[in-house]
A and B are shown apart, each in its own frame.
Chain A
Amino acid sequence: MKKHSVLISLVIVAALLLASCQSGTSGTEQPTTASDETTLIVWDQFYRPVESQVMETLNREFEAAHAGVKIQREVKVLEDLELTLPLALSKTDGPDVAQVNQGRNSMGAMVAADLLLPLDDYLAKYQWSQVFSTSVASRNSFSPDGKTFGQGSLYGVSPTAEVVGVYYNKDIFKSNGWTIPATFEDFESLLGEIKAKGITPISFGSLDGWNAIHEFSAIQHLLVSKDYINNLTYGVNNVSFDTPENQQAAEILLDWSKKGYFTEGFAGIGYDDSNNLFKSGAGAMTITGSWLTGELLTGTDQQFGFFLLPGFKGQPAMAIGGVGIPFSIRKSTEKADLAAEYLNWMISPRAAELWAGAGILPAMALPENSQFDTSGLFGDTLNAWNSINKADMVGHYIDWATPTFGDTLTAELQKLLGGISTPADFTAAVQKDYAAFLASRQE
């Protein structure tokens, strides 16, 4: 769950309608393939023009490098893809390669239904462990029965990435002589300094709810261990949400709110509105994900930069992050080796370069000799992602933990920041949701 807005959902609905019209006709217009030609059917959800162009280029270059191979691409909006994929993967003429959304309800269900090919052999063959960290791999991993998330076999590889950090207004920083803080302590004293200047330290709006989870969890990620966040997210080893660290993170968040570090009246401001305020120069910083980068590069006279929330005493710290929707292989395909070759191409340095060129964060490192300009805002987010990926410090969107976790966290954080509940109430209420989920799986 990332960006929510009414407009986006409208666009998606419209696109869905269009897509469903198209998919109805595409079956009849397939060119008949020559007998010596191999066709690889690929379903992806990169439907926005910029993304789609990257995919087209990658596909053409793959065809050029593999004589006799033809890629038959079908683009779908994510919702459409998720609805149609289970049935399509169960057919012998279904897609050989498809993007399968992460999480229990999508990839987990398809693994359980024995529709996806485990990629462990290819992981070894292509040395994918050099391309992505184990923490990234576990996001696309399930036990063969589809029940345990985060371990077992690899079922997909992700080409794109996201990281949550701090965007700052370079102009405001420069004119006040502020610099990027190296420790969390520095960060907090900077907040005080900015506030004293009469500037909003953190542009924030919690009306839409979901992004408050990122504000809380970004602080939480500095306090908890990697094992803890993995256990919590994947629902293993019976961890609790009601811990001193989580309570401390809630206390810090509440403290920031009480000291007026957030936009005044943030409870009544939506996510997009708060970003627009930040973009127009109101507010020195905002804490959100790398997906905002493109938005902040256009239509504004302000200069922005990006840094990761620094750890306590400058210790290396985790950051919320993740990889985009992965490519998987249909279990019953006869072209598994070719499909794996295609997957390898999707996460190649060349692909990284093309995604970066389109302003989208690639999950894999850019080639050594890349001429890509990393000095601007996009470079900041790219470096941030590369540093946590290399250090294996990629955290999680904790709302993956249970099917209701996102809604519970949203409601409880609004209560916390609205002064209705205390940090202790907050962790206890969220733990209730988590315990109920763990109990339901025992049945």
Chain B
Amino acid sequence: MKRQNHYPGESPWKGWLYLLPAFSIYLVFTFLPILETIRNSFYDWDGISLNRQWIGFENYVHLFQDQQFLNALLHNLVFIIFYSLIPIFLGLFLASLLSREPIRGFNFFRTVLFLPQVLSMVVVGVIWRWVFNPSFGPLNMLLRSIGLGAAARAWLGDFTWALPAVGSIGSWVQYGFCLILFLSGMQHIPEEYYEASSLDGAGAISQFWHITLPGLRSEISVALISTFVAALRVFDLVFTTTRGGPGDSTMVTGFLIYRSAFLQHQMGYASAIATVLMIIILSASVIIRHYQRSGEE
């Protein structure tokens, strides 16, 4: 028998009508621009003039021979360490510290630790440019004052250190999000598990591995997807700190897209990069979701 999704006498289209406002906004501001971007990626177009030239897959062929793009993609992978792995480890560590024993000033710590996450990225960039400033930044001053003056350097302008320096700003921003996510997840793990296991002689570390970690599986998956995506599409942080420099040592795909599209007037090429980046992000999300589901079964 066919299932009735609507009341008798009611139009079967009524449900769709409710979807219309949200869907039309999604269509106009998200879906169509994505299609337009994909279409542009097959053209040679400066983004200004009225005529554009169909060149098929030429942008893509060029893309995978472009050392700059491959280099930028590599930096995105490095950013995954700083945006994703470090914050998740740090978040897990801090969350287990904060959640087990009731500590005084818990809300204060939680707020302070979460603060980086709510700041605008522009503000974050400005703050850290100051922290890293070789002339008057507190980081080098601190190093000099404790006798490590030899380690002081022009962090954001150093070919070796610029990428880790920008990356660690990313860790600072992301770990608060992971922390809050894990803290809320831990509240759903029944306290009895911990009590029972400690009666059986399990220590804190063993409890962490066998109770906390499995209990947070879906939170970790959410944290992984969202920080992963953030690492792959990072733009604002690079834009406000180094603009890809020195040389191209902090160049990432997001900034490359911006630069090609709006500064170098290669809209077609920029669209090709954006399309490839979108495919990478989508596949990464699908793979993570897949592993999360298969782990739950």
A266: B residues at CB distance < 8 A: 134, 154, 157
User: Contact residue range for chain B?
Assistant: 20 to 34
Could you say which of B46, B153, B246 contacts A265, with CB atoms under 8 Å apart? B153
Instruction: Tell yes or no: A10 within 8 A of B by CB.
Output: yes
- Decide if A239 is an interface residue (CB 8 Å cutoff): no
- Is the beta-carbon distance between A415 and B246 smaller than 8 angstroms? yes
Pick the contact of A414: B126, B134, B246 (CB < 8 A). B246
| Inter-chain contact B243/A208, CB cutoff 8 Å | yes
- A418 engages B243 (CB within 8 Å): no
> Complex: how many Å from CA A97 to CA B239?
36
Instruction: Tell me if A10 and B122 are in contact (CB < 8 A).
Output: yes
Set of chain B residues within 8 Å of A209, measured between Cβ atoms: 243, 245
Q: Are A207 and B245 in contact (CB under 8 A)?
A: yes
Q: B156 — which chain A residues lie within 8 A by C-beta?
A: 207, 267-268
B157 near A414 with CB under 8 A, answer yes
Any chain A CB within 8 A of the CB of B207? no
Chain B contacts with A in 86-110, Cβ cutoff 8 A? none
Specify the chain B residue showing the minimal Cβ separation from A203: B135
- Residues B133 and A420 in contact, CB atoms below 8 Å apart: no
Are A207 and B242 in contact (CB-based, < 8 A)?
yes
Is A263 part of the binding interface, using a Cβ–Cβ cutoff of 8 Å? yes
> Given A109-B49, A414-B245: A269 and B135 within 8 A (CB)?
yes
Q: Which of B166-201 contact A (CB under 8 A)?
A: none
B265 on interface, CB distance cutoff 8 Å: yes
Bound: A292/B49 CA distance, A:
34
- Chain A residues with CB under 8 Å of B242's CB are 207
Chain B residue nearest to A1 (CB atoms) is B263
Are B243 and A403 in contact, with the CB atoms below 8 A? no
B39 at the interface (CB under 8 A from A): no
Q: Mark A189-217, 1 if CB is under 8 A from B, else 0.
A: 00000000000000000111100000000
Q: Which of B126-171 contact A (CB under 8 A)?
A: 126, 129, 132-136, 140, 153-159
Is B48 an interface residue, CB under 8 A from the partner? yes
| B135 lies within 8 A of A264 (CB) | yes
A404 lies within 8 A of B264 (CB): yes
Tell me the chain A residues, 243-277 only, with Cβ under 8 Å from chain B: 263-270, 273, 277
Flag if A267 contacts B265 (CB, 8 Å): no
Q: How many A-B residue pairs have CB under 8 A?
A: 92
Task: Given A6-B125, A105-B46, A414-B157, answer yes or no on A268-B134 (Cβ-Cβ < 8 Å).
Answer: yes
CB neighbours (8 Å) of B265 from chain A are 105, 403
| Bound form: Cα–Cα A410–B244 in Å | 10
A404 to B265, CA, bound (A): 9
- Chain A 407-435 interface 0/1 with B at a Cβ cutoff of 8 Å (1 = within): 10011101100101000000000000000
Of chain A, the residue at the smallest CB distance from B165 is: A268
Task: Note all chain A residues with C-beta closer than 8 A to B289.
Answer: none
In the bound complex, residues from chain A placing their C-beta under 8 Å from that of B154 are: 265-269
Contact flag A268-B247 (CB < 8 Å), given A6-B125, A263-B135: no
Chain A residue with the shortest CB-CB distance to B130: A273
Chain A, residue nearest B129 (CB): A270
Instruction: State the Cβ distance, A214 to closest chain B Cβ, in Å.
Output: 16
Q: Which of B48, B157, B263 contacts A206 (CB 8 A)?
A: B157
Smallest beta-carbon distance B268→chain A, Å: 13
Does any Cβ of A come within 8 Å of B58's Cβ?
Answer: no
State whether A277 touches B135 (Cβ < 8 A).
yes
- Point out the residues of chain B lying under 8 angstroms from A267, CB to CB: 134, 154, 156-158, 246
Residue contact B248 to A411, C-beta cutoff 8 Å: yes
Across the interface, which residues of A come within 8 angstroms of B158, CB to CB? 267-268, 418
Whether B48 pairs with A268 at a CB distance below 8 angstroms is no
Q: Mark B110-126, 1 if CB is under 8 A from A, else 0.
A: 00000000000010011
Task: Tell whether, in the assembled complex, residue B243 and residue A265 are in contact, meaning their CB atoms are under 8 Å apart.
Answer: no
CA distance A45 to B136 in the complex (A): 37
* Minimal beta-carbon separation of A291 from chain B (angstroms): 20
B240 is an interface residue with CB less than 8 A from chain A: yes
Question: With a CB–CB cut-off of 8 A, which chain A residues contact B246?
Answer: 206, 267, 411, 414-415, 418
Complexed CA–CA distance, A88 and B73 (Å) = 41
Note all chain A residues with C-beta closer than 8 A to B239. 6
Residues of chain B lying within 8 A (CB to CB) of residue A105: 46, 48, 265
B217 in contact (CB, < 8 A)? no
Q: How far is the CA of A404 from the CA of B68 in the complex (A)?
A: 13
For residue B259, CB closer than 8 A to chain A, the reply is yes
**Docked complex Cα distance between A264 and B144 (Å):** 14
Cα–Cα, bound, A10→B240 (Å): 12
Mask: chain A, 96-130; 1 = CB below 8 Å from B; 0 = not? 00000000010001000100000000000000000
- Looking across the interface, which residue of chain A has its beta carbon closest to that of B154? A268
Q: Say how far B191's CB is from chain A's closest CB, in angstroms.
A: 47
Given the interface contacts A269-B133, A277-B135, does A415 sit within 8 Å of B259 by beta carbon?
Answer: no
A142 to chain B, nearest CB (A): 15
Q: What are 10 residue pairs bridging A and B, where the CB atoms are less than 8 Å apart in the complex?
A: A105-B48, A105-B265, A109-B49, A265-B140, A268-B156, A273-B133, A407-B259, A415-B247, A418-B247, A420-B247
Knowing that A282-B135, A418-B158 touch, tell me 17 more A-B residue pairs with CB under 8 angstroms. Answer: A6-B126, A105-B48, A207-B129, A207-B156, A263-B135, A265-B135, A265-B140, A267-B158, A268-B134, A268-B157, A268-B158, A411-B245, A411-B247, A414-B247, A415-B246, A418-B246, A418-B247
Residues of A participating in the B interface, judged by any CB pair closer than 8 Å: 6, 10, 86, 105, 109, 113, 206-209, 263-270, 273, 277, 282, 403-404, 406-407, 410-412, 414-415, 418, 420
Q: Which 5 pairs of residues, A with B, have the shortest CB-CB distance?
A: A267-B157, A265-B134, A268-B154, A414-B246, A268-B157
